[in-house]
Structure 1
Amino acid sequence: MSFDTTWDVDKHKSEFEYEEHWQFRRQFLVEHKDKFPENRLVCLAQVFFNVEFLGCKYPEKTMALIEQLSEGLADDLREKRKGKLQRTFVAASDAAEARAKGNRQVSMSVTNKKSFKNLTITPYHPDYILPHFILLDANCSNSFEVIFRSCDFCQIPKPDIKYSTENPTNIQATLYMQQKVIASAFGESEKTARKNVCNSALEKLKNTCFTIKKKVEDSEHQVSKAAFLNDVSKVVTTNNTNDDNVEKKLSDDNVGNKLLKMMGWKGGGLGKEGQGRQEPVDIVQLPKNLGLGHKTNVAESAKQKIMFALKREIKKHLLEFKKSSKKRIVFSTEFTIEERKAVHMLSQNMGLKTRSYGKGEQRHIEIFKKQTAQEIFFELLDCDYENDYYILIPPIN
């Protein structure tokens, strides 16, 4: 049976696929391009990736075929990953604290400190205690929020908390994840019981699951409002100057201008004697939900111009971020509620992810490029368990 072998291998690289993963998958495709039709080979390459990187298992015949096709290639991959997994760590809590403060610590010897030497199961292995679950430590003290946001981060069903009220003064709360009992605790009310069971569950999850700790962004690296104000003031000043001093006229390629000239207009005022208005009708952008009859005062008009200019500068900044290699930016606490709403809306329109943290005056926004928990996990495994934004912490036990 003959089939086309002239297809381009590189078109099958996913947009966010980690480079090392793609190189192994690409090598698999190139080596067997002349043995299978394109669709089947792409599927086999994905199965190869799932077996080697995620620990997936398939029917016996499929596993035998993958083993045969990956001979030599898989040996190189396992040897390389073995070296990576043998890197040693100081105690997880100490390492996380030190790195969050910006201090680098030298790894201790394998004989007296925890390491990844015996790591054989990742969160994406079917035998993992909670498949696909990784704790996201976003420097939050609320254990309920940490667990629920971690589930959202991993795109798995949220926990289920069930209450037993047989004793009204001592309510029992039980937290389930993936139909497994994680923790149980008591409290005088449902609120207290929920708090206690979440605290207990969080400690157990730290013991048994991987944690991805988000690094705290230094205030000097945050996007401050002051960075936009100079540009905004220039725009507003320029607009005001233009409004006051520059003669308003229609350009030669303006549709209205062309139509008027076709009807005999040669400039000046409208009407047979030129007695009509001489300037184009101004376009005024009214606030949301206000009709044409609304008249803004000077203060309102200035505020609208500043907000409009601020949105434009924020949009420019977000576009630059989207094109850059950065994966996260943080807007400082200086922005008002209305300005934060504008940042949320602009970010979402550009396909970026947003999340608000803190309360009151400490409320701020973080903007992310969309990246799955799985992509972040394997990226951290391949770059010494730490990058500019996250630290990978192994289970305590």
Structure 2
Amino acid sequence: MTDLIQREIISLEDSDVLLICETVPIDGDDSNMDIVSFSSVSDHNIQDIPLINIEIPKNHTENELICDWNVDEYRNAFEPDVHWEMRRSFMVQYKNKIPESELVALAQAFVNTEVFGAVYCEEVTAKLELLGESIAKQYRMFKSKTPKRITARATEAVHDWMKHRSESLKAAERKDQAIQLLGPVFTVTTVEDIFRNYVLLDDNLEESGREFEKLGCGWFVHDVWRNDQKLWEATCTVAGFLLSKAVGPLKKSRQKCTEELLKLFRKKCYKIRVNHNRCWDGYNVERLEVSEDLDMRGNPFDCRLRLPLAAKDQLKEDNVGYRLLRKLGWGGGPLGKHQVGIVDPIEVQAKRGRRGLGLPQLSLRSDGSGLQTPSNNASYLDQLDLSKTSFRIDVGFYRDLMRNFKAKRLGYDLIFSSEFTETERALLTKIATDLDLQCTTITYDYEHYQFVLMKHRVSPHDLLIKIIVENHPIYSTLYTVEPPEDDLERHNKILELCSK
């Protein structure tokens, strides 16, 4: 504790309470901060505040203003010191520029807007913002460093004060306790340890079991054999503990054993469900277009690097289009006055299938998730020479975006807009491959394709911490957490630690 602590004993009916007023560090900084009194904006340093040039009314020149009036006479007996210092500073700063009656009204209106949130007409509001900018900045700085009053029981407050335990330190300790209650137990000795380590993901026992085994605390073992009565017996053993068992025909015994295990985990373990609420055209990365052609590295594109025409694609001298272009002054190469136009003739493709004109005819395969992934994307990428292709997107921005995505190890997908062309998606795939990132292309209607950067794998317990303890806005939207039905006491304890 610093010397700035103020202590006050208040007698209540139940017990005495010690009120401690201490500086609260911002953003978890435990360093001590000095309390800045707003008296710094008084007449002994008011000259340091820069004056704002304002327009003097035509009927009142600077020589006509009466400046010998006393500012302190306008102090109200019920007015707090901070509010008066703001009003007084405002009047002192513009005493020689604005008539007395108008200045007193403006000073009061300024305090009303800054402190109480009052709203005036547009003209008055603009004038107050212009005149009171420097004073308002001082006041906001003062508010950010104002001590915060914390109410606690006398014995606890005295103990914290003597041990120099600040409120921010206590909040960090409570967060650590909540994380420990949510974290796994790496040495499994009881069945309760298994239920604490196991997190049920979308009611999928196999995926949840693989995540459990990654903790290194045991294995999932499913066994089926014939017993002495010639019946099939199915069992599930987790970390050496038998959790479910069923006897009967082969198929029914397996199904019943799985159902009993799933029912048990639903009652005893945390459950995480993915919110499948994304529309087919939903995305979180937009297409940023630039005004000039760029190469695959983001540098200005050199038109001389364009692919030369193949012999079979070149226009012959007996071609009608060739003769017309010659008459118009074309001497070969790219079209246009500055020779930056197209080089290859416009290709005519045969229309096959029932898709719209201009849409690529791709063969598709399902990946089992309801999305459709182009199966020949890799072959198309191999055939395309990106080094001799120009792009109209901000290549450098997307490369930096992918680098940050990899560095932050984010646990959600980056879904790009469907406005990216097929060539641009090929470039994005090349950038992601060079950065060793997993990516794919998805579609819901065989017409709109979207490039997706696959999320970094986040363990189930880390997801619980991000959602329950940290209340992460993105993860809380992507996932829904359900507490164990038979262990609500532990869950309520975690919520209590996070809410303080």
Which TM-score bucket, shorter chain as reference?
Answer: 0.3 to 0.5
More helix by share: 1
Q: TM-score, normalised by structure 1?
A: 0.39
Specify the structure having the higher radius of gyration (Cα).
Answer: 2
